[in-house]
Structure 1
Amino acid sequence: MARMIRKSLDEPEETRPFEDGKGRLDLVHLEAGGVGRAVFEPGWQWSKHVKPIAQTDSCQASHAGYVLSGKIKIVMDDGEENEFGAGDYMSVPPGHDAWVVGDEQCVVLDWQGYVDYAKRQD
């Protein structure tokens, strides 16, 4: 019989800080993968604050997420771009850069792409 699961992103099982204190990723682990809440501070950019951790030319995670607050701009390697804000669902394939738009934190819940996101490579 299936059982209910309760986990809280306010008490994450793992936290991964971004470079230069520009935010963090809080994760809870589930059998089907992880669910994460990323807090991107104003001035955060993937290519500056996660690329040194990921060691890839662009973000190679697929994202299925929901923006809780703030705004984020995403530019695909092929030049396609979009901006997502509070209340928006986003589906983003691998191969992109991203950055916070404006002076407000951008907070994103993601249930697809955060399992290996900002994970230090050994």
Structure 2
Amino acid sequence: MMTIVKRNFDSADEVRPFEDHKGHLDLLETDHGLVGRGVFEPGWQWSKHVKPVAGTDSCEAAHTGYCVSGRIKVVMNDGEEVEYGPGDFMEIDPGHDARVIGDEPCVLLDWTGMADYAKRMAAPAGV
């Protein structure tokens, strides 16, 4: 039997807020894995607003996605830089920082690397 599915990120299965109210990640669970919509507010930077949750020196998630609106600059650990804007497709390997460019929110769709992105881990028992 063939199926057709309609979902809306405004009714996400999970919402993960970023530090300092600088945006959020909306997640939809699909039969093919998680799909995320990241809304990154002006002033957002991974090393300031996700690093405290991730606990790593740089983003260790791979990303395959599409920029819907706004602009974001990604800097790899080796110094390579790429700026993405509306209509741009992206593939980003682990080991990077990123920040919003300008004063417009950046909205990205991402279908890889979202399982643990900005996910607060439960504290160990007894803590």
With normalisation by structure 2, the TM-score equals 0.92
Greater C-alpha radius of gyration: 2
Matches within 5 A, 1:61-80: 61-80=61-80
- Taking the TM superposition and a 5 Å limit, the aligned residue runs for 1:97-112 are 97-112=97-112
Residues 43-82 of structure 1: pairs in structure 2 closer than 5 A: 43-82=43-82
How far apart are 1:12 and its partner, in Å?
0.4
Whichever residue aligns with residue 43 of structure 2, its letter is G
Q: In structure 1, what is the Cα distance between the partners aligned to 2:79 and 2:33?
A: 30
Matching residue of 2:35: 35
Match of 1:6 in 2: 6
For residues 5 and 52 of structure 1, what CA distance do their matches in structure 2 show?
35
For 1:96, give the aligned amino acid. H
Displacement of 1:112:
1.0
CA contact (8 A) 1:55 1:121 kept: no
For the 8 Å contact 1:28–1:36, the answer to whether it is kept is: yes
Q: Runs of 4+ in structure 1 displaced over 6 angstroms? A: none
Point out the more displaced range, 106-115 or 91-100: 106-115
Residue 94 of structure 1 is matched in structure 2 by 94
Aligned to 1:39, what secondary structure does the other structure show? strand
Q: How far apart are the structure 1 equivalents of 2:56 and 2:19?
A: 15
**Aligned-pair Cα RMSD in Å:** 0.9
Shift, 1:115, TM fit: 2.0
Provide the rounded CA distance (Å) in 2 between the counterparts of 1:40 and 1:91. Answer: 18
- 2: CA distance, partners of 1:2 / 1:78: 45
- Structure 1 SS opposite 2:48: helix
Q: Match for 1:102: what amino acid?
A: G
- CA distance, structure 1, for counterparts of residue 69 and residue 7 of structure 2: 21
- Give, in angstroms, the shift of residue 8 of structure 1: 1.2
Identity %: 61
Q: Is the 8 A contact 1:9 1:27 kept in 2?
A: yes
Shift of 1:30: 1.3
